[in-house]
Amino acid sequence: MAKNSYDAQAIEVLSGLDPVKKRPGMYTDTSNPNHLIQEVLDNSVDEALSGYCSNIKVTVMKDGYIKVSDDGRGMPIDIHPEHKVSGVELILCKLHAGAKFSGDDYNFSGGLHGVGVSVVNALSDELEVRVKRESNEYQISFSNGDKASELEAIGEVGPRNSGTSIKFKPNPTYFETTEIQIKKLKHLLKAKAVLCPGLTIDFVNEKKSDDKQKWYFEDGLKSYLIESSDGADLVLEESITCSKKSETQELEFAVNWSLRPPKNKLDETYVNLIPTAQGGSHLNGFKSGILDSLKEFCDYRNLLPKGLKINADDVLNSAIFIISSKLQNPQFAGQTKERLDSKDHMSFVASTTKDILSIWLNTHTEEGEKIAELAIMSAQTRAKVSNIVERKKTFRGPALPGKLSDCNSQDLNETELFLVEGDSAGGSAKQARERSFQAIMPLRGKILNTWDLESAEIIKSQEIKNLSTAIGVLPGNNDLSSLRYGKICILADADSDGLHIATLLCALFLRHYKSLVQEGRIYISMPPLYRIDSGKDVLYALDDNQRDEIVAEFKKKKGKPKINIQRFKGLGEMNPPQLRETVMDPATRQLVQLSISSSDNANSMMDLLLSKKNAPARKEWLEKKGSLAKI
């Protein structure tokens, strides 16, 4: 039960690395420790980008440790004038501490927030740092993010021998598994070497005796593209490449087209050598530039059939490409840096791409027409499919809402629409869903309270209009022949705000879509409020009672392993695998069907909760029974 009092004493201030330990999912991917390796690796690569490092070695050790070593300048070992601790200790123990904010020491870098390697420290059982600098080798160690030994000199090295070595062991409490995904790690290391010509990266997997590899590329993107497109029937003998630099940003790309694209075709994007799986500004700029240049080429040579329009997807359907952007102070969507949000960089990439492609197309007209032919074929196929299998819409004319991520199936026996609270949770849900039958519609916070309103009045609300268009039924309409989804699932946070939003949506369906409720089409998803870990066991709890029951069961186990409890602030804090398992996978989720009967008091309860006419009764009820509410 929530406390009645709320005063300054209730405010908790997390210090040091506590925020990371409390909310690890906000700082890294908790499905496995691969992202921790990337955070350490990025610091070494930043040294290489600045010209101070030429060799990096990554070792996966038999005892579960991971070691990343470089020959860069070495972390600072002198005492910070303000914080009175060594530079290396400050970097490892304090969030938002680093040398990459000003741009004085690093022109382009991936470490922007000053939290990466400190997150690794916070989420590791043990972490040891060795620094070679100023003719000496120094060592400092940490345990669960806390300093275990002081920084001390442990030997002498040559005057030109410098660098940093970080060895750490991920804490299984914070991860679904501590097994490293070796294949993905190798792909990342190879890509780093490709994107930073002259850098040598060694990899050793001590768990397998013959698992060693070394990557070094002089030719960079072009050779990587050719190697990755092995087996594809390339259209161009020489891939189109670009390398343009300004004072604050750079763009490199290589692109080709294939008549038979390989199963896993190359379409990778990077920012300051960090992989951006979700793309962002640089990919959008590339698409815009390549589309504009090809459209101009087609228009000038009258290649497009009458009435046919090509889009960026048509141009890139058969393309294989790699994009590497570098810029100062890039703005990422989150700490895992999977999407770039720097709007200014998009225009730089778009204009650069258009200039390069326009010049190339007009000097390679025969090959340009082959590329145009592939795009035209894609557009024609898309147009045919659209005419043959067009999903049912609410009414003729209006397009589906832009935020709706639709599914492929049209079978009402399997299709599901999730109404998700906010864009952040919507983004995770889109990654977690099964695209074939699950659609996602993010909502902007609390919708209009529609309980006292007429159906003709509520459609004036843009949010409700979008929702109506998505489901295919207008408010107050009992004709469900145009219904687009068999199940409509309300997916809101497990906290009080989320319950309020779920209540408003339930009121909308009860009052204005009663036929959907009567047919059993409306469901409420039950997201967990807690995740409880004990050793390798992971369970989720919907509320405090379930949490206490699970903890009690864990305590009965032999050996009594450490129990860690994570309280989810919201759905956006859960990573896609957690969201899939707990609220989206039909095999493991919990759904509650919204139903009404003549014997229940649903209408009177909604009147009490939401009707403006019942404000005095609601106030009286809150005064008498408000303290019984559980959050």
Residues acting as catalytic residues: 421, 493, 495, 497
Give me the long-range contacts of 125-129 (CB less than 8 A, separation at least 24).
125/169, 125/170, 125/171, 126/65, 126/168, 126/169, 127/92, 127/166, 127/167, 127/168, 127/169, 128/166, 128/167, 128/168, 129/75, 129/88, 129/92, 129/164, 129/165, 129/166
Instruction: Name residue 539's beta-bridge partners.
Output: 532
Residue 581 DSSP code? I
Please name which of 85, 99, 203 lies closest in space to residue 140, comparing C-alpha atoms: 85
Token digits of residue 41: 């690796």
Mode of pairing for the β-strands spanning 563-567 and 591-593:
unpaired
Please name which of 60, 37, 41, 59 lies closest in space to residue 49, comparing C-alpha atoms: 41
Token digits of residue 341: 């949000």
Q: Which residue has tokens 């996602």?
A: 440
> Would you call 30 helix, strand, or coil by DSSP?
coil
DSSP structure string for 149-192: EEEEEEEE--TT--EEEEEEEE-GGG-S-----HHHHHHHHHHH
Distance CA 143, CA 65 (A): 13
Chain-centre distance for alpha carbon 332: 10
Please name which of 279, 277, 262, 276 lies closest in space to residue 225, comparing C-alpha atoms: 262
Distance CA 539, CA 541 (A): 7
**CB burial readout 49-58, b (16+ within 10 A) else e:** beebbebbbb
Mode of pairing for the β-strands spanning 487-491 and 319-327:
unpaired
DSSP structure string for 407-434: -S---TTT-EEEEEEHHHHHHHHHHHS-
Q: Which residue has tokens 């609390």?
A: 446
Please name which of 544, 534, 565, 552 lies closest in space to residue 2, comparing C-alpha atoms: 544
Contact 31, 175 (CB under 8 A): yes
Contact 217, 243 (CB under 8 A): no
Contact 128, 92 (CB under 8 A): no
